[in-house]
A and B are shown apart, each in its own frame.
Chain A
Amino acid sequence: MDETRPTRRQSDLADMLELLLDKGVVINADIAVTVGETELLGVKLRAAVASFETAAKYGMEFPDGTDMERVERAAGVEEIESDRPELDELEIEAAASEGESEENDEEAGHR
């Protein structure tokens, strides 16, 4: 029988990319600028990683729970939609995932 050993294949990296946006040291100092300071940018980057195309290509899943709420909230801001075309796409995703996010309610408080 094969022994179970950790792998670090290219495909395993996909999981990591999500962690890079979501986890890692956060600095609360006046001289620090992070994605957290600009909600929109955070949502955009997250969407980039989790977009349908990317997900299909790299075997990733849309982050669940609160993340979806953020996406939905951001996608609902009208002026952003109009001058940032990629958010139209985002809104479609948000709508498409609405059913799913209900199932995931338990996890909403997770992060």
Chain B
Amino acid sequence: MSLGRSDKSTDFETGRYLYCVVRSDDQAEFEADGVEDEPVYLVHSDGLAAVVHHCESLYDADDMERVREWLLDHQAVVDSVGEQFGTPLPFRFDTILTGDDEAVRGWLDESREDLEAYLTEFAGHWEYRVEITRTDDPELEDERLAELDAEIENADDGTAFLLEKQRARRETDLHRARDDEIAADARERLEPLSSEFEQATDPDEVASFSLLAHEDDETAIGDELDPVAARDGIEVKFTGPWPPYSFAPEL
């Protein structure tokens, strides 16, 4: 048994590891080194092409560093396909069709209607990710806080302790309200530029968005993020363009 490839239930005689599907001229060629340096090539079927390599089992390893390498290799292939063919329909890591190239062609034909619809929808569109975080706490101007400060100043130790707690709670509430306001503002700015939009909830962040947007709107998205990023104590991380993983369908 080779290192890291195990699990008898997922072994098969012949299989094709799938990276993505693109629209392609049937004569087009693509070569790359894939996961574990496997040679990657295209399986064509009448205007569609699946990007694949040969394999006999699912990728499975106990070595985490190795898994990370696989993921990076997978992503590198999809990226380079994207550069050559435009937005690909990206598959989840470790998706394999059992059988040979003919089986892949059969599946492409069977799924043609869906594949073409999604490729049309995604054409020229990419996934962009926006994370908004608080880098430091802004100065809070609030009457209640000022009142509490004054009361704390004049209170004895025991009372001051309780008032401090109240103050901290008030501060948390104010921060949360500000975060929510910033998140809503950002969402309002970005949603019109997105054909699909997802907001994730992460308690450590002010907001976290995934959006599917046209590559021509990349600059406009950046422009909308400028005023958000310019706010005190706020950092905006804007990454992309990525293959549209978050918006990929079940087929």
- Interface residues in chain A, defined as those with a beta carbon under 8 Å from any beta carbon in chain B: 1-9, 12-13, 15-17, 19-29, 31-38, 40-41, 44-45, 47-49, 51, 53-54, 58, 61, 64, 84-86, 103-104, 106-107, 110
Contact = CB atoms under 8 A, between A and B. Distances in A.
Q: Which has the most chain B C-beta neighbours within 10 Å: A1, A5, A23, A24?
A: A24
B238 A26 contact: no
Given A3-B226, A103-B203, 13 more contacts: A4-B226, A5-B222, A15-B129, A20-B93, A24-B93, A25-B20, A25-B249, A28-B251, A32-B107, A38-B7, A45-B67, A51-B64, A104-B203
A5 B226 CA distance: 9
A89 B246 CA distance: 29
A92 B187 CA distance: 37
A23 B239 contact: no
A58 B203 CA distance: 20
Given A26-B95, A107-B201, A20 B71 contact: yes
B240 to A, nearest CB: 4
Contacts of A2: 229
Contacts of A1: 226, 230
Nearest to A45: B67
Nearest to A51: B64
Interface string B214-251: 00001101110110011000001111111001101111
A27 B93 contact: no
Given A20-B92, A21-B92, A24-B93, A41 B10 contact: yes
Contact of B201 (A15, A16, A86, A110): A110
A25 B58 contact: no
A74 to B, nearest CB: 14
Contact of A19 (B95, B97, B226, B245): B245
B137 interface: no
B236 A26 contact: no
B37 to A, nearest CB: 18
A49 B67 contact: yes
B168 interface: no
